[in-house]
Amino acid sequence: MKQPWFAVLISYFCPGLGHLYAGRPLRGGVFFLIFAGFGVSGLRAVFAPGGDARNGFILLAIAAVVYVAALVDAHRASRKDAEAPTGGRNPWLAGFLSYIIPGVGQLYGRQFLVAALLIGAGIGVSLASGAFRLLATPVLDAMLVPPILHGLRIAGLWHAQWSLAEPRQLFSRRFLSLIPLIAAEATVMSAVFFWVFQSVVMWMPIATPAMEPRLLRGDMVLVDGRSYLKEAPQRHDVVIYRESEMGGLLIARVVALPGEEVQVSGGKLQVKGIPVGQLRKTIPDGEWGSMNLTDNMYLLIADSAQLNPESGLPSPVRKGAILGRVYKRVLPLARRSRIGGPPVVH
């Protein structure tokens, strides 16, 4: 006898598994192939430098619809041979709800104290994730937050089964079959997070007018953290960096490279005596002096920076403090574009 909500739960891990459980492998295979095709194509379009973000989001939306349809159809396919209702609340429905959002299944099962603990823990971990991104490194966020959230989901699933089902069902073949699925999901999630934080450092909103008019406040950009593992930053690259170990993330453009001399003359910024892309139409005259960049040091200046002789040129930044290159704007869709080239003179 089949349990429809168990079919939904295993379909959550992989669209099509619920159909396999229900004895409909061909139907499940079709759902899986359609979901995988749209999903992979959508991710490539969003994250690839030359991909069209709008098309990518459309493809991902279609993949999401197919995913939900697979869950609904797995439930429907299992109802024909479903176990007769026993009354009370369904432990598999509770487990599914708590695996999606820890604590929701406990609300369904009227386990309000446990629900409050799980929901509160989930909110706390999410807030901690935001703090890690502001105060530490993205890698620390990737290493700590996903495993904790995954543990809360497993705890919610286990408690839902333990509180609503008979104890012997915790050792049934059906329940034990979830262990490799949960382990596989945890492995995939870890691999994805580490890949993202190694290659695309972050999906970053522009919070300041520092790079106007090229990048406006509220724009969403992608940052490639692998850009400078084998290559050095190039002039005109838009980069994300930190001024100090615990400092916040800043955005600016690479203006001068190691070994170059920088000076201001005739209202223009010059490198080795040659004018480079201007930050403004004119730069105030004054006693600017000159700056000689040593090895692994770069001069970074935001496009809209207001330079003046009193404060002088910004301090150079070492290569290790440059976290990655901004390579693509994905939102708003009307301004989606690749990022690169000299600044826009305004």
Q: pLDDT in tens for each of the 346 residues of the chain?
A: 678 888 888 898 889 989 998 889 999 999 999 999 999 999 999 988 889 999 999 999 999 999 999 999 999 988 876 655 555 678 888 888 888 888 888 888 888 898 899 888 888 877 776 655 555 455 555 566 677 777 888 888 888 777 776 665 656 676 677 777 777 777 777 676 666 655 555 778 888 888 888 888 899 999 888 888 888 998 889 998 887 766 678 888 898 889 888 887 766 777 776 666 555 445 666 666 778 888 889 988 888 877 776 777 778 889 988 988 999 999 999 999 888 766 655 4
Q: Extract the runs of DSSP E, i.e. beta strands, from the chain.
A: 200-205, 220-224, 238-242, 249-256, 261-265, 268-271, 274-275, 290-292, 297-301, 317-318, 322-331, 337-338
Distance CA 202, CA 197 (A): 7
pLDDT given at position 169 = 60
Q: Which of 4, 18, 204, 28 is nearest to 91 (CA)?
A: 4
Domains and CATH numbers, the chain: 4-200 (no CATH), 206-338 (2.10.109.10)
- Tokens at residue 333, please? 């869709």
Q: Which of 164, 147, 180, 146 is nearest to 96 (CA)?
A: 164
pLDDT given at position 136 = 47
Distance CA 104, CA 156 (A): 8
pLDDT given at position 42 = 95
Q: In what order do the strands lie in the sheet with 261-265?
A: 274-275, 268-271, 261-265, 290-292
Q: Which of 152, 88, 165 is nearest to 115 (CA)?
A: 152
pLDDT given at position 69 = 96
pLDDT given at position 320 = 87
Burial of 201 (0-12, 13-18, 19+ CB in 10 A): buried
257 Rama sector, left if φ>0, alpha if ψ -120 to 50, beta otherwise:
beta
- Helix/strand/coil percentages in the chain, nearest 5: 50, 15, 35
DSSP state of 199: H
Where do we find the tokens 């999401």?
64
Distance CA 124, CA 130 (A): 10
pLDDT given at position 50 = 87
Beta-carbon contacts of 258 under 8 Å, excluding residues fewer than 6 positions away, are 232, 293, 294, 295, 296, 297, 298
Beta-carbon contacts of 335 under 8 Å, excluding residues fewer than 6 positions away, are 216, 219, 329
